[in-house]
Structure 1
Amino acid sequence: MTKNYETFASVYDAIMDDSLYDAWTDFSLRHFPKKAKGTQLLELACGTGIQSVRFAQAGFAVTGLDLSQEMLDIAAKRAASAKVAIDFVAGNMLDLSGVGSFDLVTCYSDSLCYLADEVEMGDTFAQVYAHLNEGGTFIFDVHSVHQTDEVFPGYSYHENADDFAMVWDTYEDEAPHSVVHELTFFIQDEDGRFTRYDEIHEERTYDLLTYDILLEQAGFKNVKIYADFEDKEPMETSKRWFFVGRK
């Protein structure tokens, strides 16, 4: 693993609000079946493992899946430091063959919004359904259309620290309910020099009915929808939608 990527990931972790992981954990524990501890949990798009460690500390047998082996290497170090056993797997949520079956599956931090279109969203839901045990629970969050259409366009965030700086600008994209995040990082190396890195992140969401239909087509029944980490129905100004589906 390159030193740069480790630094890169640590920058991501540094700018994330730590309390969000507590909120994702609390929401999950409220909506998992009772006596869920010790059960098999798959966390999709686990990244550097912060949420996976939270779940392991809560008593679940956790598998974390992510596209990035570099991120998973960092996640494994994080789990070792926390003294929890987590199985980290490099893979794509569009194809979960080979990862086994689970009682619980989660996908947080609007990771599903990075899928290209409705077809990929539907395929992912079908994969999750196929790898859930009977009676299993699938929980995920996505951006609301209010977030992509009203809040994000024109959003700008700048951060300066001793060893890195970041500029984050968000613009409306061409597809409905889609945005482009342009991120520029300046990261200090061991020689004290700053190197520039540029990233483009494209995200897309859909209206509630679309998610409902895709989940139903995948086989999920009686899907419950909530908003902004609370056990309340979405409102027009809700920013983050949460879905709880059972097999």
Structure 2
Amino acid sequence: MSVNALYTDLSGYYDLMCVDIDYQTQSNAICRLHQLFGNDGTTHLDLACGTGPHVRHFIDAGYISSGLDINQPMLDIAATRCPEAHFSLQDMSHFEVSEPLDLITCFLYSIHYTDGIEKLKACITSARRALTTGGVFYFNAVDKEKIDNGLFVKHTAKQADEEFTFHSGWHYSGQGEKQSLRLSIEKASTDATQIWNDEHPMVAVSFMELTALLTPYFEVHVFEHNYETITPWDNVSGNAIFVCVKR
């Protein structure tokens, strides 16, 4: 068995690592929320789009969809999955668009990749600037005050004659504006087992702090982290969906 640090480029493992994610249900839920809170427009941008699975579903739902990410190999896969979409290599903390948008999304807790309050503020500002009047900024988030460092998500997937086991979990020290996403990948074959470990620095923020950052620019609606139903946040759970309408 060998143990190594996981290289930064996850593009080769990304789709396998996310194989249990129901991208269609997530996309459908945000389409419904956009119908309720949006301006009836159909131009869409997905921040931290990865390999483009959400973009694919938004295109299929009738949106003129695009995506951005800081990882070019992932964007190359996204362009193959969604040849009709435009993808750009940009940092979501400071991004530009050519035309105002009706909907901006950021799935899979990727808003936390802003890695610090100042970059989070810059992302919020960039999103507001990119949206047309009445446009909607959607993302999901985790409250730093509700993180349990002992919890993690695990799933396995097979590819050819190899079995992969993926672990991921949040870690927060209890103070400050930084938390981390800890990841590990175990690849087992008949000959050997390899394990890669990685830790991504991410911004830590409470929902109270997050709402305060958003309110000057958006009308903020917070919902339970459930893509099957639209339920207002109960002020207790540590994961939530934010739907922010540009003022």
**Offset at residue 197 of structure 1 (A):** 3.2
Q: Which amino acid aligns with 2:89?
A: A
**Offset at residue 51 of structure 1 (A):** 0.5
Q: 1:158 to 1:224 in 2, by over 3 A?
A: closer
Q: Distance in 1 between matches of 2:116 and 2:74?
A: 24
- What is the TM-score with the length of structure 2 in the denominator? 0.80
Determine the structure 2 residue equivalent to 1:62: 65
Give 5+ residue unaligned stretches, structure 2: 1-8
Equivalences for residues 128-207 of structure 1 within 5 A: 128-145=127-144, 147-148=146-147, 150=148, 152-155=149-152, 157=154, 159=156, 161=158, 162-168=161-167, 170=169, 172-174=171-173, 175-176=175-176, 179-187=179-187, 196-207=195-206
Q: Are 1:42 and 1:64, in contact at CA under 8 Å, matched by a contact in 2? A: yes
Determine the structure 2 residue equivalent to 1:93: 92
Sequence identity percentage: 22
Q: Are 1:180 and 1:201, in contact at CA under 8 Å, matched by a contact in 2? A: yes
**Offset at residue 97 of structure 1 (A):** 2.4
Q: Distance in 2 between matches of 1:52 and 1:171?
A: 26
How many residues in Structure 1 have an aligned counterpart in Structure 2? 232
| Structure with the larger RCO, 1 or 2 (CA within 8 Å, 6+ apart) | 2
Q: Deviations over 1:12-58 (max 9, x none)?
A: 233xx232x23321221222146977721011111111100010000
Where in structure 1 do 4 or more consecutive aligned residues deviate above 6 Å? 34-38
Q: Are 1:141 and 1:243, in contact at CA under 8 Å, matched by a contact in 2? A: yes
**Offset at residue 246 of structure 1 (A):** 1.5
Equivalences for residues 16-165 of structure 1 within 5 A: 17-19=20-22, 21-33=23-35, 39-80=42-83, 85-145=84-144, 147-148=146-147, 150=148, 152-155=149-152, 157=154, 159=156, 161=158, 162-165=161-164
Secondary structure of the corresponding residue to residue 237 of structure 2 = coil
**Offset at residue 139 of structure 1 (A):** 1.1
- What is the TM-score with the length of structure 1 in the denominator? 0.80
Q: 1:47 to 1:37 in 2, by over 3 A?
A: farther
Cα RMSD (Å) of the superposition? 3.0
Secondary structure of the corresponding residue to residue 93 of structure 2 = coil
